[in-house]
Amino acid sequence: MKKIENPDSIETIKIDKRTIPAGNYTDVGFDSRQVFDIEISLTVIEYRAQILQDDKGKQFVAKFPEAVSKAAQYGSGVKAHSVYMSQSQLIPQARVVESFESQMNLPVSKGSISNFNKEAYLRLETFENWAKAKLIDSELVHADETGINLNGKNGWLHSASNSKVVLFHADEKRGKEAIERMGIIPNFSGFLVHDHWKPYYSYDSIHCLCNAHHLRELERAWDHDQQKWAKNLRKLLEQINTSTKDAGGVLPLANIQKYIKQYQKILKSGENECPLGPKEKGKRGDKNNRSREIY
């Protein structure tokens, strides 16, 4: 943590001269230390709309802000904090209620928390449409899916992202039905990075395989099965990645050719170290060792 130039408050500590030798002293400055802390408190804002009355008794009332529609209501900060706790931090509604009551002396019901979440969901429709358009028009998109608990049942959280935009879609399905409902990949024609899962190949994109998945598979082949070729290939992929970043994203042709030769040499050693056995009828992969199935 670093000190800042403009603290919110300053407390000056003066020397008790009884604790130092007697004499004449000149103030030559100060030493400083900063404490970063938070204050959790309830703020109530009262809006008072002016009322003017003409000589005939007709009254005119100033307009309240659009968001202020009731005599007493929750503010946007309460709603945002509630949604953050329940959705981002995954805190159960009962504990969100407890947090508001114990820390801010603010009564909030579980029903209100549900309403806050619903309001946030509806307000995010504009962002969702914007994010979809940005991802569809981008040059590269990463796609993945992972299992989640969806209303007490097994579901899937689909993601589509680039370096600036991330969009998630919860669905009961993992495959093409869910991808269609998300509405990004079917309309995307750029570079699609994924984990070689078959439904992605149903779409007319430029398919790229995710090296993060490759590295995990290679790590397992080495840690679990002691396959040396997998360890060497993992190191090579990491070296290529570092060299590409250092080169500004594009390797010189000579370096590319060098790495291709090293890559092919390691694959050859893998074939010798772990030869593929005959495929069993009705089963995928190699009956001897399926952990070598690196896409």
215 & 200 share domain: no
Q: What is the 3-state secondary structure (H, E, C) of 57-107?
A: CCEEECCCCCCCCCCCCCCHHHHHHHHHHHHHCCCCHHHHHHHHHHHHCCC
What pLDDT sits at residue 151? 84
205 & 215 share domain: no
What pLDDT sits at residue 289? 41
Q: Is residue 185 part of a domain?
A: yes
| Residue where one domain finishes, among candidates 190, 209, 228 | 209
Q: Is residue 116 part of a domain?
A: yes
168 & 235 share domain: no
Integer Cα distance of 41 and 105 in angstroms: 9
**pLDDT digit of tens for each residue in the chain (295 aa)?**
899 999 999 999 999 999 999 999 999 999 999 999 998 889 999 999 999 999 999 999 999 999 999 999 999 999 999 999 999 999 999 999 999 999 999 999 999 999 999 999 999 999 999 999 999 999 999 999 999 998 889 999 999 999 999 999 999 999 999 999 999 999 999 999 999 999 999 999 999 999 889 999 999 999 998 999 999 999 999 999 999 999 999 999 999 999 999 999 999 999 998 887 676 665 554 444 433 333 3
231 & 241 share domain: yes
Q: Is residue 36 part of a domain?
A: no
Integer Cα distance of 131 and 137 in angstroms: 10
What pLDDT sits at residue 279? 63
| Residue where one domain finishes, among candidates 209, 231, 252 | 209
Give the CA distances from residue 195 to residues 147, 210, 237, in Å, rounded to whole numbers and listed in that order: 15, 5, 16
205 & 162 share domain: yes
Q: Is residue 15 part of a domain?
A: no
244 & 280 share domain: yes
Q: Is residue 115 part of a domain?
A: yes
218 & 276 share domain: yes
294 Cα distance to chain centroid: 27
277 & 233 share domain: yes
Q: Is residue 191 part of a domain?
A: yes
| Residue where one domain finishes, among candidates 185, 209, 233 | 209
Residue 261's domain comprises: 211-292
Say if residues 85 and 78 touch (Cβ distance below 8 Å): no
155 & 218 share domain: no
What pLDDT sits at residue 276? 73
Tell me how many domains the chain contains.
3
